[in-house]
């Protein structure tokens, strides 16, 4: 017999029918019960009013307009309950809080009849939806929200998230107003929004951490949940994450079978992380049981997030020393936790004894090896082993610590708040995580200097880092080669001077064939190992490249005949009729000689390179181009007289003869 007010009856019946094929279909029996009509009213907030203010306003209106009956208000959690209660401090009604953390006496007061002539307002979580009946309610005000656990496999945390309730939950809540007489249900959202809500609540198995569940299955010899019939099967990704965690904790072997450690963990009524801590704590058994209880139960410290200290050691001392050194500690909660910790010690076969609070960090790391955090920058800013950033309030006592072991986070993926943690000494970090720390030595660039960096690393955390200057060798040479390849040949010294040699060779390769080498940028970058590496025997950084003679290195790559022929077939300079030596430019399509007009008087022959006429860039005394030609004789005959007319007026101190072919070249500057 399966009973519920909000069950998906057809779905459950279909599942049970399929599980028992030989039997007739499972019947569905619907009983309406004795309930009175409930008037549903839609009252969404207007504008940007806060939900707390909106709900408080709905309560005040209901007390004014509804002549009788108590008011039950559904809110997501304690924070909202407290804020709405503050806004109702002057109403003519008894205002009670109702949630699972209240002691039984306070819960009894919340559900008991009010003192005449007052009415009662009960501000409740969803505990009043199914678990507790509040008598005398005729008005229900529903915020439409609830806290629901959501497991994030990336952070390994189950986070309580505020989500819209399902339509079935809304109906269940509204029904509380019609138990004794016709009632009213006021929903703080619109009819349109209601239609978009899911019909049923999402099954918890699809939302939570399955590590404990998978450990129980392993104890029964089951490693694959698919072997069992589920009304709602667990998500494969969540199963994989749970199995991975249990394997890392040593509870399962690589075939997902229960180990001896896992067998000891199964009998402990705490999360597998905490069970592993208790099993593995050896001489710190009492401390491990206290820590497991503190983490598994509700925090005994109450208050605003910035006011509640992060340090778990304060809670441990309260339990072991019977002292309440912090105003946020709640005495009854501490006593209850002490009793629970003793019970866990009994279950684990650990005697209750004194604890060493200096061991809190190392012991906690047994449960949360993946949540080591190191401080980065200012106090309170930390980086977790998985790479996520996290923080504590800057004035928290743990904010200056170098290392923390984090027991609880708020679950956000980015810049998550640390809610519960313990400091751990650097020496203990090296001891506890010795088998997981990677010691990495690599050659890296520090500006233009190569250094050997030695890094002790745990996951994404760099625990220690030192650098020293590299020694010359093959690794150093290769690092310099890669840097040149990355930044280009321009970082090499004398590259400009070498460019002249490279353009001469490029010209000869173009005109005479591929016997001449390819010294293009791309090919030189691709072949650095063959032509440059042999000369990099001592450098430790880019500054040391200044000693390299790039022109000599490149010339040495030419075979002997080419090293001689290059100066004959592609000379760097040519002597012109005036007797001056002029540099040849090979960067264009043809070799070019920049020369003053006066230097070429008396000659009709265009200089040749490789048997072909050069390009003459004929310039004025001010070195401005007046004519570009490969036919000097044609220039004298055709264009020269026009040039002479224009230039003679500008440069009267220089010779501009009528017949340049018979004139002597001008030698003066």
pLDDT in tens, 413-454: 678 899 999 999 999 999 988 888 999 988 888 888 888 889
The contacts found for 219-225 with CB under 8 angstroms, 24 or more apart, are: 219/258, 219/262, 219/263, 219/266, 223/252, 223/255, 223/256, 223/257
Q: Do residue 79 and residue 189 come from a single domain?
A: yes
Q: Do residue 461 and residue 517 come from a single domain?
A: no
pLDDT of residue 480: 87
pLDDT of residue 23: 66
Q: Do residue 445 and residue 327 come from a single domain?
A: no
Of 66-70, 85-89, 146-150, 161-165, which range is least confident?
146-150
Domain that holds residue 517: 476-569
Instruction: Collapse the DSSP code of 17 into the 3-class scheme (helix H, G, I; strand E, B; otherwise coil) and give the result.
Output: helix
Nearest residue to 100 via CA among 131, 71, 73, 142: 131
CA of residue 442 relative to chain centroid, distance: 24
Whole-angstrom Cα distance, residue 427 to residue 361?
11
Alpha helices in 94-190 (DSSP H): 104-111, 127-130, 167-175
pLDDT of residue 16: 75
For residue 50, what pLDDT band results from cuts at 50, 70 and 90? very high
Q: What is the pLDDT of residues 552-601, one digit of tens each?
A: 999 999 999 998 999 999 999 999 999 999 999 998 889 999 999 999 99
In a domain, 203, yes or no: no
For residue 6, what pLDDT band results from cuts at 50, 70 and 90? low
Q: Which residues touch 143 (CB under 8 Å, ≥6 apart)?
A: 51, 55, 73, 74, 75, 76, 80, 188
Q: Do residue 42 and residue 178 come from a single domain?
A: yes
> Which of 403, 432, 461 delimits the end of a domain?
432
Asked if pLDDT for residue 18 goes beyond 80, the answer is no
Q: Do residue 501 and residue 400 come from a single domain?
A: no
pLDDT of residue 20: 65
pLDDT of residue 5: 64
Nearest residue to 489 via CA among 543, 530, 528: 528
Identify whether the C-beta of residue 609 lies closer than 8 Å to the C-beta of residue 591: yes
Q: Do residue 489 and residue 522 come from a single domain?
A: yes
Overall domain count for the chain? 7
In a domain, 204, yes or no: no
Q: What is the pLDDT of residues 340-356, one digit of tens each?
A: 999 999 999 999 999 99
Q: Which residues touch 196 (CB under 8 Å, ≥6 apart)?
A: none
Nearest residue to 107 via CA among 125, 91, 89, 84: 125
More confident residue, 655 or 537: 655
Burial readout 421-454 (b: 16 or more C-beta within 10 A, e: otherwise): bbbbeeebbeebbeeebeeeeebebeeeebbbbe
Q: Do residue 347 and residue 493 come from a single domain?
A: no
Asked if pLDDT for residue 328 goes beyond 70, the answer is no
116: domain CATH number is 3.40.50.300
Q: Do residue 347 and residue 381 come from a single domain?
A: yes
In a domain, 589, yes or no: yes
For residue 636, what pLDDT band results from cuts at 50, 70 and 90? very high
Q: Which residues touch 590 (CB under 8 Å, ≥6 apart)?
A: 612, 614, 615, 630
Within 13 Å and on the Cβ side, how many CA atoms surround 142? 30
pLDDT of residue 55: 96
What is the rounded end-to-end Cα distance, in angstroms, of the chain? 116
For residue 146, what pLDDT band results from cuts at 50, 70 and 90? very high
Q: What is the pLDDT of residues 275-327, one digit of tens each?
A: 999 999 988 999 999 999 999 888 888 777 778 899 999 999 988 875 556 66
Token pair in block for residue 56: 């408080």
Mean pLDDT of 507-520: 90
Q: Is 132 exposed, middle or buried (0-12, 13-18, 19+ CB in 10 A)?
A: middle
pLDDT of residue 635: 94
Q: Is the peptide bond before 669 cis (omega within 30 degrees of 0)?
A: no
Q: What is the pLDDT of residues 593-618, one digit of tens each?
A: 999 999 999 999 999 998 889 999 99
Q: Do residue 410 and residue 492 come from a single domain?
A: no
DSSP secondary structure, 447-461, as one string? TTEEEEEEEEEETTE
For residue 183, what pLDDT band results from cuts at 50, 70 and 90? very high
Asked if pLDDT for residue 405 goes beyond 90, the answer is yes
459 sits in the region (left: phi over 0; alpha: psi -120 to 50; else beta) called left
pLDDT of residue 211: 92
**Pairing of the two strands 157-164 and 612-613:** unpaired
pLDDT of residue 502: 92
In a domain, 274, yes or no: no
Average predicted confidence (pLDDT) for the chain: 88
Percent of the chain at pLDDT above 90? 54
Q: What is the pLDDT of residues 253-274, one digit of tens each?
A: 999 999 999 999 998 999 999 9
Q: Do residue 510 and residue 487 come from a single domain?
A: yes
In a domain, 44, yes or no: yes
In a domain, 221, yes or no: yes
In angstroms, the Cα distances linking 35 to 176, 177, 197 are 9, 9, 25
More confident residue, 459 or 40: 40
Q: Do residue 113 and residue 140 come from a single domain?
A: yes
**Pairing of the two strands 183-187 and 137-142:** parallel
Q: Do residue 378 and residue 312 come from a single domain?
A: yes
In a domain, 19, yes or no: yes
Identify whether the C-beta of residue 261 lies closer than 8 Å to the C-beta of residue 215: no
Nearest residue to 389 via CA among 416, 369, 371, 423: 416
Identify whether the C-beta of residue 384 lies closer than 8 Å to the C-beta of residue 390: yes
**Pairing of the two strands 70-74 and 137-142:** parallel
In a domain, 643, yes or no: yes
């Amino acid at each position: 017999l399966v009973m519920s007010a909000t069950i998906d009856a057809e779905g459950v019946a279909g599942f049970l029918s399929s599980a028992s094929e030989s039997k007739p279909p499972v019947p569905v029996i619907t009983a309406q019960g004795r309930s009175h009509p409930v008037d549903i009213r839609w009252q969404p907030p207007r504008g940007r009013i806060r939900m707390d203010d909106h709900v408080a306003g709905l309560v005040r209106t209901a007390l004014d307009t509804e002549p009788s009956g108590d008011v039950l208000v559904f809110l997501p959690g304690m924070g909202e309950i407290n804020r709405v209660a503050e806004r109702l401090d002057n109403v003519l009604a008894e205002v009670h809080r109702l949630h699972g953390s209240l002691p039984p006496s306070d819960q009894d007061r919340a559900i008991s009849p009010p003192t005449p002539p007052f009415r009662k307002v009960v501000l409740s979580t969803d505990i009043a939806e199914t678990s507790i009946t509040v008598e005398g309610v005729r008005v229900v005000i529903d915020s439409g929200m609830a806290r629901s656990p959501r497991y994030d496999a990336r952070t390994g945390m189950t986070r309580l998230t505020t989500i819209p309730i399902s339509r079935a939950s809304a109906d269940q809540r509204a029904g509380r107003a019609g138990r004794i007489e016709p009632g009213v249900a006021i929903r703080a959202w619109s009819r349109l929004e209601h239609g978009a809500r899911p019909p049923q609540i999402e099954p918890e198995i699809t939302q939570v951490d399955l590590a404990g569940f998978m450990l129980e299955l392993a104890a029964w010899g089951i490693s694959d949940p698919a072997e069992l019939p589920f009304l709602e099967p667990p998500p494969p990704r969540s199963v994989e994450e749970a199995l991975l965690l249990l394997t890392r904790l040593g509870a399962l072997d690589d075939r997902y079978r229960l180990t001896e450690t896992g067998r000891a963990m199964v009998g402990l009524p705490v999360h597998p992380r905490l069970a592993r801590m208790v099993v593995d704590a050896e001489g710190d058994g009492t401390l491990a049981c206290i820590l497991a209880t503190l983490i598994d139960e509700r925090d005994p410290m109450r208050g605003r997030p910035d006011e509640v200290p992060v340090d778990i050691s304060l809670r441990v001392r309260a339990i072991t020393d019977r002292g309440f050194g912090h105003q946020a500690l709640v005495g009854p909660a501490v006593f209850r936790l002490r009793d629970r910790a003793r019970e866990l010690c009994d279950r684990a076969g650990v005697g209750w004894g004194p604890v060493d609070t200096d061991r809190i960090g190392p012991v906690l790391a047994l449960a949360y090896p993946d949540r080591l955090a190191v401080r980065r920058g200012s106090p309170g800013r930390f980086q977790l082993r998985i790479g996520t950033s996290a923080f504590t309030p800057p004035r928290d006592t743990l904010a200056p610590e170098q290392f923390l072991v984090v027991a609880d986070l708020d679950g956000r993926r980015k810049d998550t708040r640390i809610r519960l943690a313990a400091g751990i000494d650097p020496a203990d970090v090296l001891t506890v995580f010795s088998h997981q720390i990677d010691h990495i030595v690599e050659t890296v660039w520090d500006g233009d200097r190569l250094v050997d960096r030695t890094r002790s690393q745990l996951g994404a955390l760099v625990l220690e880092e030192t650098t020293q200057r590299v020694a010359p060798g093959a690794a150093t040479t290769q690092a310099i080669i890669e840097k040149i390849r990355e930044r280009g040949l321009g970082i090499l010294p004398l590259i400009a001077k070498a460019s002249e040699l490279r353009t001469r060779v490029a010209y000869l390769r173009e005109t005479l064939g591929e016997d001449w080498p390819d010294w293009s940028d791309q090919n030189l970058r691709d072949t650095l190992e063959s032509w440059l590496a042999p000369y990099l025997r001592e450098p430790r950084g880019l500054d040391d490249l200044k000693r390299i003679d790039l022109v000599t290195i490149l010339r040495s790559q030419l075979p002997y005949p080419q090293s001689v022929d290059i100066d004959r077939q592609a000379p760097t300079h040519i002597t012109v009729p005036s007797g001056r030596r002029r540099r040849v430019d090979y960067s264009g399509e043809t070799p070019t000689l920049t020369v003053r007009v006066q230097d070429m008087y008396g000659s009709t022959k265009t200089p040749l390179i490789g048997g072909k006429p050069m390009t003459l860039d004929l310039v004025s005394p001010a070195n401005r181009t007046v004519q570009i030609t490969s036919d000097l004789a044609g220039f004298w005959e055709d264009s020269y007289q026009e040039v002479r007319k224009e230039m003679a007026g500008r440069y009267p101190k220089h010779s501009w003869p009528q017949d340049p072919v018979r004139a002597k070249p001008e030698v003066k500057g």
